[in-house]
Amino acid sequence: MKKYTYSATQSDNKGKWYIVDAKGAVLGRLASLIASRLRGKHNPLFTPHVDTGDWVIVINADKIVLTGRKLDQKCYYRHSGYIGGLKTITAKKLLEKRPEDLIRFAVKGMLPKNRLGSKLFKKLKVYAGDKHPHISQQPEAV
């Protein structure tokens, strides 16, 4: 009798839709929950090299909470590629301008840095308000 470990395939994944309300949630804890759902680690069929995760919709991203003094001290950087082209924005300004990006940056840092991670990241939908266009997918609340 041969014993082996079951390896899931792409066709084994049903891909459910979940909705997460970010109102009053701490950024890092929420991001780790979302990344785990996107990756499929809650699923008994989890296989590290296969997309066994679900779709995640995040609403009320503008009501996210950062603990301590992170709102003033945490900075996000990007570079234009030119000399002296480093751009910096604090978490407070980013929360005012594009609150969805706070959650996107946190979740993206928790996903794998390869083609699978890019594929998983596309399954995340973030909205600043409580309205979203994915009602027809009948998302379940987390």
For residue 77, is it within any domain?
Answer: no
Beta strand residue intervals within 38-129, DSSP E: 55-59, 75-79, 86-90, 124-126
Q: For residue 59, give the amino acid letter.
A: I
Question: What is the pLDDT averaged over residues 50-57?
Answer: 96
pLDDT band at residue 1 using 50, 70 and 90 as cut-offs: low
Reported pTM: 0.93
pLDDT band at residue 2 using 50, 70 and 90 as cut-offs: confident
- CATH number of the domain enclosing 39: 3.90.1180.10
**Model confidence pLDDT, tens digit, residues 85-139:** 999 999 999 999 999 999 999 999 999 999 999 999 999 999 999 999 999 999 9
For residue 93, is it within any domain?
Answer: no
Domain count, the chain: 1
Distance CA 65, CA 48 (A): 31
For residue 105, is it within any domain?
Answer: yes
State the pLDDT at residue 4: 83
List the domain range (segments joined by +) for residue 38: 17-66+98-130
For residue 42, is it within any domain?
Answer: yes
pLDDT band at residue 5 using 50, 70 and 90 as cut-offs: confident
Is 19's pLDDT higher than 70?
A: yes
State the pLDDT at residue 6: 86
For residue 5, is it within any domain?
Answer: no
Distance CA 42, CA 35 (A): 11
For residue 62, is it within any domain?
Answer: yes
Contact 8, 45 (CB under 8 A): yes
For residue 10, is it within any domain?
Answer: no
